[in-house]
Amino acid sequence: MPAGNGVSRRTALAGLIAALSAGCGKLAFMAANVPAAFGAYRRHADIAYGRHPRHRLDIYVPEPKSAADSAPPAARPLVVFWHGGRWSSGDKAEYRFVGAALAQLGCVAVLPNYRLYPEVKMPGFMDDAARAGQWAALHAGEYAADANRLYLMGHSAGAHLAALVTLDPRYFAADGQPMPSIAGVIGLSGPYDFLPLKEADVQDMFGPPENYPQSQPINYVRSGAPPMLLIHGQSDETVRPKNSVNFSAALHAAGVPTTLKLYPKLVHADTVAALSLPARGRAPTLADIAAFLRQPQSS
């Protein structure tokens, strides 16, 4: 009987990992988020950062590990994570496992929603990214986070938001506030160099054609940009690995400290799925993020 139970658990875990790796469907998110609900953090849900119903964010604050550990914590790193979904789908609530994983690292995690296509086209979702990032920086102290240790992070389309809002100063300038101090960018399976645009919906959301180059983070690489961690699965056929490879090369050429991690045999969703407890052994995403956060900050 014990042996049979062990096989059943392994079979169930394999099924959960497969669902998470597929990166879609309610089953995958349920598998990821059920264990995350029991993490040592406090979740502040659906806080408004603007007037639109999609201008809402969740905050994950690590809790003391024991009653004896009740002294006010030192200011923690602040990580803003944007979900993926082809700029047209997705919700912060589906990524509770990401907030839990970042809280486990001692970070205050902010997970915003943003307006989606076709309700808005670019720059609509970029403006939302700037507004959410600015909100997080301005309110960091309320959650024992350090606004000077602000990291912008995302998966897939969310990685695009994180990179482009960091490199193109127009978006924070449009928000009417000084650009926050960004300590680093963490991109999981991100599109950074994806011209030509072939799909009709992507052409529409980034159009007209003369505006296509403005959608490409690689076109805004500049010296003095904050350090970046780029993680990609080598078998990703949704967003090709060349996006991270080319982007990393351009950043290096500009003198930007950049760490590129290419995970063999992994596909598009694996990089973020590995932040969940059921699939954590699938890729070293969490360990690579932890190492990046420990790096000395550039002056």
Residue 109, classified by CB atoms within 10 Å of its CB into exposed (0-12), middle (13-18) or buried (19+), is buried
Phi, psi of 274 (to 5 degrees): -70, -10
Q: How far apart are CA 115 and CA 219, in angstroms?
A: 24
List the domain boundaries for the chain. 2-294
In the structure encoding, which two tokens stand for residue 96, read together?
């509770």
pLDDT at 5 over 90: no
pLDDT for residue 261: 98
**Could you read off the pLDDT of 215-243 as tens digits, one per residue?**
999 999 999 999 999 999 999 999 999 99
Of the chain, the percentage scoring pLDDT greater than 90 comes to 79
pLDDT at 246 over 60: yes
Model confidence pTM above 0.85: yes
Q: Which of 16-30, 77-91, 96-110, 278-292 has the lowest mean pLDDT?
A: 16-30
**Of 18 and 226, more confident:** 226
The CATH number of the domain covering residues in 2-294: 3.40.50.1820
In a 13 Å sphere around the CA of 64, the CA atoms on its Cβ side amount to: 9
Judged by DSSP in three states, 61 sits in strand
pLDDT for residue 25: 56
Q: How far apart are CA 155 and CA 83, in angstroms?
A: 6
**Of 4 and 206, more confident:** 206
DSSP string, 105-160: TT-EEEEE----TTT--TTHHHHHHHHHHHHHHHTGGGGTEEEEEEEEEEETHHHH
- Give the confidence band of 9 by pLDDT, cuts at 50, 70, 90: very low
DSSP string, 189-245: S--SS-PSP-SHHHHHHH-SGGGGGGG-GGGG--TTPPPEEEEEETT-SSS-THHHH
pLDDT at 82 over 80: yes
Average pLDDT over residues 31-37: 75
